[in-house]
A and B are shown apart, each in its own frame.
Chain A
Amino acid sequence: MKKRLYLELENCIGCRSCLAACTQCGGHEERNRNYVYDVNPLVNRQTMPLMCLHCVNPACARSCPAQAIQIHETGAVLSALVEKCIGCQNCTIACPYGIPKFDTEQNLMYKCDLCIDRTKDGSPPMCASVCPSNTLQWLTDEEIEAKQKQFNLDNGKWVTSMPYLEGETNVRVNLPGILQGVTKLF
């Protein structure tokens, strides 16, 4: 029963629960690894969460000279292995979404690993389990299919941005009509 993280961005209310949850997730060492952005800063109050999209072909892992970023069998792109990471920050530059964060004190990269110790056993990542507005959801592919029927997509493909920057991702994103130019049916 493979489940995916599904982002329904227009639900976001900007409560930052996902950041707090990420901070408290086991193995995250009190550091949150995701982001909450203002979509149109100073124009309106719409916010959107952004965490690692777990690319099928991750630019960060490709760019890593030490192969410190590994792809888990579930498809999650893991945070840098502490024993391998050399702190070169290639991944922070390579990632088109600006996901990897860099700890200058430890000289290590850290990023969202989809709470791998939870998701490998089927429980949702911490951010999705606390999101009060269903912006972050943990769904099977069938459930995502059902959600997809509510939207008109220009090419029927689910990609993180259109035209897409990077390629297929393991995290499914519902792009708000503002960005996409299509209207939500209901």
Chain B
Amino acid sequence: MTDKNNKIPFDEDNYTHNINRNNERKLDRRGFMKTLVGAAGVFAVSSLPWGAVAAKELVGLGVKKYPKQKIVDVKAISVGDAVDFHFPGEHDSAILIRLSENKYVAYQNACTHLRCPVFWQKEEGDLLCTCHHGKFDVETGAPTAGPPRRPLPEIYVKVENDTVYAVGVKRYEA
């Protein structure tokens, strides 16, 4: 009878078991979880601008328009030859290769390894960076050998009135 545990309340001022109104914590477990979820929500919302940027890129709203620029006359470049030019800016050196009668490819010719110029090897039929012997596939600009890991940025070309024009830069994905 007298050994009953009625000498209460025990000291219960803690986080995990507190039944006293006055010891109510500012941050209890539920509040902590709410804070956690709220923070996650804030992070989620704050990432939306990046989503917008990505969407803009993917939809193609971010494509820069460059004025078309004459590269060379068709008569001045024979099949299998290449010619250097600058596009879109005057410091962005690029290379145009005539692969067949009607097929032209153009790339910005700074090697993606360490920005050395990339040359057209007519005999081997590939693009070669002489600094470290990086090679690129002429059809796609993809690296095939050596240190470079990323493709050469492609330039869109168009033939009008027996003249080859550079009209734009392909969106670079690497």
For residue B30, which residues in chain A have a CB less than 8 angstroms away from its CB? 83-84
The minimal Cβ–Cβ distance linking A67 to chain B, given in whole angstroms, is 5
Contact, CB under 8 Å: A167 / B8: yes
A67→B17 CA distance, assembly (Å): 7
User: B22-35, CB under 8 A of A: which get 1 and which 0?
Assistant: 10100000100000
Contact, CB under 8 Å: B20 / A70: yes
A73→B9 CA distance, assembly (Å): 12
A119→B4 CA distance, assembly (Å): 30
For residue B4, which residues in chain A have a CB less than 8 angstroms away from its CB? 164, 167
The minimal Cβ–Cβ distance linking B23 to chain A, given in whole angstroms, is 9
Take A56-B8, A167-B6 as given contacts and tell me if A62 and B19 are in contact as well, using a CB distance cutoff of 8 Å.
yes
Q: Say which size band chain A's interface belongs to.
A: 20 to 34
* Set B8, B17, B21: member contacting A73, Cβ < 8 A: B21
Closest chain A residue, CB of each to CB of B17:
A67
> Taking the complex as formed, is B78 at the interface, i.e. its CB lies under 8 A from any CB of chain A?
no
> Taking the complex as formed, is B52 at the interface, i.e. its CB lies under 8 A from any CB of chain A?
no
Q: Number of B residues whose C-beta is below 8 Å from A?
A: 14
A64→B20 CA distance, assembly (Å): 13
Contact, CB under 8 Å: B18 / A67: yes
User: A61-100, CB under 8 A of B: which get 1 and which 0?
Assistant: 1101001011111000010000110000000000000000
The B contact surface, by secondary structure, is: loop
The minimal Cβ–Cβ distance linking A115 to chain B, given in whole angstroms, is 15
Q: Which of B5, B17, B21 gathers most chain A CB within 10 Å?
A: B21
For residue A69, which residues in chain B have a CB less than 8 angstroms away from its CB? 19
Q: Which of B4, B5, B19 gathers most chain A CB within 10 Å?
A: B19
The minimal Cβ–Cβ distance linking B135 to chain A, given in whole angstroms, is 67
The minimal Cβ–Cβ distance linking A89 to chain B, given in whole angstroms, is 17
Take A70-B24, A84-B30 as given contacts and tell me if A64 and B19 are in contact as well, using a CB distance cutoff of 8 Å.
yes
Contact, CB under 8 Å: A57 / B21: no
Closest chain B residue, CB of each to CB of A70:
B21
A64→B16 CA distance, assembly (Å): 12
> Taking the complex as formed, is B1 at the interface, i.e. its CB lies under 8 A from any CB of chain A?
yes
A71→B17 CA distance, assembly (Å): 13
Closest chain A residue, CB of each to CB of B15:
A67
> Taking the complex as formed, is A163 at the interface, i.e. its CB lies under 8 A from any CB of chain B?
yes
The minimal Cβ–Cβ distance linking B106 to chain A, given in whole angstroms, is 66
Contact, CB under 8 Å: B18 / A56: no
Closest chain B residue, CB of each to CB of A168:
B6
Contact, CB under 8 Å: B19 / A163: no
Contact, CB under 8 Å: B1 / A163: yes
The minimal Cβ–Cβ distance linking A171 to chain B, given in whole angstroms, is 15
User: A152-169, CB under 8 A of B: which get 1 and which 0?
Assistant: 000000000001101110
Contact, CB under 8 Å: A61 / B6: no
A58→B19 CA distance, assembly (Å): 10
User: A35-61, CB under 8 A of B: which get 1 and which 0?
Assistant: 000000000000000000000111001
7 residue pairs A–B, Cβ–Cβ below 8 Å:
A56-B8, A56-B9, A69-B19, A70-B20, A70-B24, A71-B20, A84-B30
B interface list, Cβ under 8 A from A? 1, 4-6, 8-9, 17-22, 24, 30
A interface list, Cβ under 8 A from B? 56-58, 61-62, 64, 67, 69-73, 78, 83-84, 163-164, 166-168
Cβ-closest 10 pairs across A and B: A167-B6, A57-B8, A61-B19, A70-B21, A72-B21, A71-B20, A73-B22, A56-B8, A67-B19, A70-B19
